[in-house]
């Protein structure tokens, strides 16, 4: 399989004036790289990330010459790590971070949201000032009012409609409302949510800088309100840093459910669809820093396959302090599925985007998504062995092209015959020159399961999606590759295994000379069968066979005596004999002569 290497270009910059905002998202990548290489300790890692949010100037001597091109989506994960690892900080570090973790911003003005659930704090002048526009001339900036409306709308969907718990309470700090501060976020984040007991939300005060290159202004405010509010709700269930990737997956999904028209999550999809060999539960990878946000389409997959309440069901399992993949598994069992099977189906859905989109059967917005790039195209003109080598929880895509009308057997095999249960495979056969709709969809998830394809179309394609469903929490196993071979065999179609309306005799059928017409047919597999006589005008004249679960593997013979369903001889003319079996249909002519 192809290996893709992704490099970041670090761009030098001139220090900004102290009164100007300094953005440092590239520093976050560098800090993470240094930690993964063992060049800095975990202690320094979380401290540096904290400085990045609150005082990036503290890092200039350590990491000179960095400049951000994009804002960091969310700094809540950093807040969580600082809070949960408070005991390892030095006295000076605790003193510095306490002004944020244990205290709150001091802003002059506040506004209670229409629902009464939220208090929005803001400034009209100075470093944290919000835009001054006040179209309704009520003395309150529109920016603060829009924040209040966005928070109310999000809470209504989350709590009143979807049944999530309410946001974690701050126990009456600054009044009974939940507090949200519109503040100039020095480290280039969209928003931050602080952990209980001093829980509150900070959101950028204007979203006008170029680092918010995809969504700016009021739209960025809206989706960030929805995103961070869901983090506050998540803290009512469980605080578990090991699975924080799923906190971001859910919050990014939820912001789109509240504000479907904004589609801020689109900005994270190009990388997600380009680099498919990134494990499902990846978080804070310096090479793929937005993976967890792009993975929000997993939520769109679940919403459409099941219902829009399923994320809440997962969080209800998650609050029992089990790993998130286990919580997903337990939830899906209640829907007659499991995580391994749905993961492979999810990766299969990801093929149906862009020009291949099918908004009826797959993503509603799939036509707007990028198309997968890492697809191995294999000519299907001879027996072939296709080696697959995946990291854990990743897919591979193989497209068999140029299929000739023949019979295929496809097997999944591993070298030691033991780890085949760590794989799920789906095979989809597409009609030629038609839409990307599967006419065959089968699983192979053990060595004993092979998929048999009888392909009767010219130039059709078969897509194989192979997913390694191995899981690992062991950093030593994260780079391990799981290996499997896909074996494609081209086999001559046995006559008895073809769906075929084989012979009709005598033809023409002549009343007075012949007693009846013999009709022979074979079936590929056990099928519900109809054998019909149809007039040239398309009317059903007689039903020769209408039988359920007719057997395969032998020659079937049926006869017709030239009578219609009322036992009256049919007039002379051309008639049609039609065989229908499952998705198969074949028609042949019969000439009838009366003298």
Residues 137, 246: one domain? yes
| Chain-centroid distance, C-alpha 193 | 25
Average pLDDT over residues 328-352: 95
Query: Please, what is the Cα angle at 543 between 538 and 544, to 5 degrees?
Result: 125
Residues 405, 352: one domain? no
| Chain-centroid distance, C-alpha 546 | 43
Supply the pLDDT for residue 70: 74
Q: Residue 23: pLDDT band by 50, 70, 90 thresholds?
A: very low
Supply the pLDDT for residue 188: 76
Cβ contact 52:59 at 8 Å: yes
* Whether the predicted pLDDT of 11 surpasses 70: no
Backbone angles phi, psi at 386, to 5 degrees: -110, 110
Residues 385, 517: one domain? no
CA-to-CA distance for 418 and 447, rounded, in angstroms? Answer: 9
Q: Residue 440: pLDDT band by 50, 70, 90 thresholds?
A: very low
Single residue among 323, 356, 389 that ends a domain in this structure: 356
DSSP 586: E
> Of residues 279 and 472, which shows the higher confidence score?
279
> Of residues 436 and 241, which shows the higher confidence score?
241
Single residue among 493, 508, 537 that ends a domain in this structure: 493
* Whether the predicted pLDDT of 236 surpasses 50: yes
Residues 264, 295: one domain? yes
Backbone angles phi, psi at 437, to 5 degrees: -115, 125
Range with the poorest average pLDDT among 14-28, 45-59, 112-126, 408-422: 14-28
* Whether the predicted pLDDT of 332 surpasses 60: yes
* Whether the predicted pLDDT of 538 surpasses 80: yes
Provide the number of structural domains found in the chain: 4
* Whether the predicted pLDDT of 348 surpasses 60: yes
In whole angstroms, how far apart are CA 588 and each of 201, 503, 514, 575, 580? Answer: 72, 9, 19, 9, 12
> Of residues 374 and 26, which shows the higher confidence score?
374
* Whether the predicted pLDDT of 401 surpasses 90: no
Range with the poorest average pLDDT among 234-243, 265-274, 335-344, 431-440: 431-440
Among residues 225, 251, 399, the alpha carbon closest in space to that of 315 is found at 251
Residues 225, 291: one domain? yes
Average pLDDT over residues 465-482: 79
Give the CA dihedral 410, 415, 420, 423, nearest 10 degrees.
Answer: -80
Residues 484, 501: one domain? no
What CATH number did the domain enclosing 300 receive?
1.10.390
Residues 379, 344: one domain? no
Among residues 245, 395, 418, the alpha carbon closest in space to that of 328 is found at 245
Residues of the chain above pLDDT 70, percent: 86
Q: Does a structural domain hold residue 399? A: yes
Q: Does a structural domain hold residue 61? A: yes
Average pLDDT over residues 434-461: 49
Q: Please give the sequence-ordered ranges of beta strands (E in DSSP) within 172-244, or none if there are none.
A: 178-183, 189-193, 201-204
Give the CA dihedral 184, 187, 192, 194, nearest 10 degrees.
Answer: -100
Q: Tell me if residue 510 falls in helix, strand or coil.
A: strand
CA-to-CA distance for 21 and 211, rounded, in angstroms? Answer: 11
* pTM for the full predicted model: 0.78
Supply the pLDDT for residue 310: 98
Length of the chain: 595
CA-to-CA distance for 359 and 267, rounded, in angstroms? Answer: 20
CB under 8 Å to 152, separation ≥6 — which residues?
113, 114, 115, 117, 118
Q: What is the pLDDT of residues 460-471, one digit of tens each?
A: 678 889 999 998
Supply the pLDDT for residue 431: 59
Q: What is the pLDDT of residues 185-206, one digit of tens each?
A: 877 789 999 999 999 999 999 9
Q: Tell me if residue 459 falls in helix, strand or coil.
A: coil
Supply the pLDDT for residue 448: 39
Supply the pLDDT for residue 458: 47
Residues 453, 569: one domain? no
CB under 8 Å to 293, separation ≥6 — which residues?
73, 248, 249, 252, 265, 268
Range with the poorest average pLDDT among 156-170, 316-330, 382-396: 382-396
Q: Does a structural domain hold residue 444? A: yes
Residues 117, 94: one domain? no
Q: Does a structural domain hold residue 340? A: yes
Cβ contact 516:505 at 8 Å: no
Q: Residue 525: pLDDT band by 50, 70, 90 thresholds?
A: confident
* Whether the predicted pLDDT of 439 surpasses 60: no
Angle between helices 91-101 and 76-84 (to 10 degrees): 130
Q: Does a structural domain hold residue 588? A: yes
Query: Is the four-CA dihedral 347, 348, 354, 360 of positive or negative sign?
Result: negative
Residues 553, 573: one domain? yes
* Whether the predicted pLDDT of 176 surpasses 80: yes
Residues 70, 165: one domain? no
CB under 8 Å to 563, separation ≥6 — which residues?
542, 569, 570
Residues 483, 556: one domain? no
Cβ contact 478:472 at 8 Å: yes
Q: Is 510 left (phi over 0), alpha (psi -120 to 50) or beta?
A: beta
> Of residues 13 and 556, which shows the higher confidence score?
556
CA-to-CA distance for 204 and 196, rounded, in angstroms? Answer: 21
> Of residues 584 and 193, which shows the higher confidence score?
193
Q: What is the pLDDT of residues 410-427, one digit of tens each?
A: 888 876 655 777 888 888
Q: Does a structural domain hold residue 362? A: no
Q: Does a structural domain hold residue 20? A: no
Single residue among 309, 325, 356 that ends a domain in this structure: 356
Q: Does a structural domain hold residue 11? A: no
What CATH number did the domain enclosing 560 receive?
2.60.40.2550
| Structural domain for 31, as ranges | 25-98
| Range among 9-13, 51-55, 151-155, 514-518 with highest mean pLDDT value | 151-155
CB under 8 Å to 241, separation ≥6 — which residues?
77, 80, 81, 84
Query: Please, what is the Cα angle at 38 between 87 and 8, to 5 degrees?
Result: 110
């Amino acid at each position: 399989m192809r290996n893709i290497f992704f490099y970041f270009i670090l761009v030098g910059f001139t220090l900004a004036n102290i009164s100007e905002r300094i953005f440092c998202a590239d520093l976050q990548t560098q800090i993470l790289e240094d930690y993964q290489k063992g060049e800095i300790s975990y202690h320094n890692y979380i401290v540096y990330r904290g400085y990045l949010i609150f005082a990036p100037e503290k890092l200039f001597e350590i990491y000179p010459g960095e400049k951000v091109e994009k804002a960091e989506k969310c700094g809540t994960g950093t807040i969580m790590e600082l809070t949960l690892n408070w005991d390892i900080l030095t006295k000076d570090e605790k003193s510095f971070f306490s002004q944020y973790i244990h205290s709150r911003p001091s802003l002059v003005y506040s506004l209670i949201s229409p629902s009464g659930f939220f208090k929005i704090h803001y400034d009209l002048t100075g470093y944290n000032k919000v835009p001054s526009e006040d179209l309704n001339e009520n003395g309150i900036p529109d920016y603060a009012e829009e924040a209040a409306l966005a928070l109310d709308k999000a809470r209504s969907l989350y709590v009143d409609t979807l049944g999530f718990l309410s946001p974690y309470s701050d126990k009456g700090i600054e009044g009974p409302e939940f507090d949200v501060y519109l503040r100039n976020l020095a480290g280039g984040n969209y928003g931050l949510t602080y952990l209980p007991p001093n829980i509150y939300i900070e959101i950028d005060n204007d979203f006008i800088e170029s680092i918010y290159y995809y969504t700016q202004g009021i739209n960025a405010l809206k989706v960030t309100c929805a995103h961070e509010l869901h983090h506050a709700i998540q803290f009512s269930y469980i605080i578990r840093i090991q699975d924080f990737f799923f906190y971001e997956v859910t919050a990014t999904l939820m912001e789109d459910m509240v504000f479907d028209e904004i589609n801020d999550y689109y900005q994270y999809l190009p990388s997600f669809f380009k680099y498919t060999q990134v494990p499902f539960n990846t978080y804070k990878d310096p090479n793929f820093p937005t993976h967890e946000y792009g993975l929000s389409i997993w939520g769109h997959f679940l919403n459409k396959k099941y219902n829009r309440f399923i994320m809440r069901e997962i969080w209800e399992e998650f609050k029992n302090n089990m790993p998130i993949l286990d919580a997903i598994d337990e939830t899906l069992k209640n829907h007659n599925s499991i995580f391994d099977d749905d993961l492979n189906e999810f990766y299969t859905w990801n093929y149906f985007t862009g020009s291949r989109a099918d908004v009826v059967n797959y993503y509603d917005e799939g036509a707007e998504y990028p198309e997968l790039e890492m697809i191995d195209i294999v000519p299907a003109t001879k027996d072939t062995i296709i080696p697959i080598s995946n990291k854990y929880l990743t897919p591979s895509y193989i497209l068999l092209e140029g299929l000739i009308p023949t019979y295929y057997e496809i097997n999944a095999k591993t070298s030691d015959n033991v780890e085949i249960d760590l794989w799920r495979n789906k095979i989809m056969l597409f009609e030629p020159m038609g839409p990307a709709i599967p006419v065959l969809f089968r699983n192979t998830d053990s060595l004993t399961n092979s998929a048999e394809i009888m392909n009767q179309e010219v130039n059709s394609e078969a897509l194989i999606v192979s997913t390694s469903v191995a899981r690992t929490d062991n950093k030593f196993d994260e780079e391990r590759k799981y290996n499997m071979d896909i074996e494609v065999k081209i086999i001559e179609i046995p006559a008895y295994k073809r769906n075929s309306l084989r012979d009709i005799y005598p033809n023409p059928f002549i009343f007075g000379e012949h007693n009846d017409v013999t009709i022979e047919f074979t079936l590929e597999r056990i099928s519900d069968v109809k054998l019909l006589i149809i007039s040239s005008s398309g009317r059903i004249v007689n039903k020769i066979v209408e039988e359920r679960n007719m057997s395969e593997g032998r020659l079937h013979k049926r006869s017709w005596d030239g009578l219609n369903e009322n036992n009256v001889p049919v007039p002379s003319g051309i008639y049609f004999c039609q065989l229908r079996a499952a998705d198969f249909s074949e028609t042949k002519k019969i000439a009838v002569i009366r003298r």
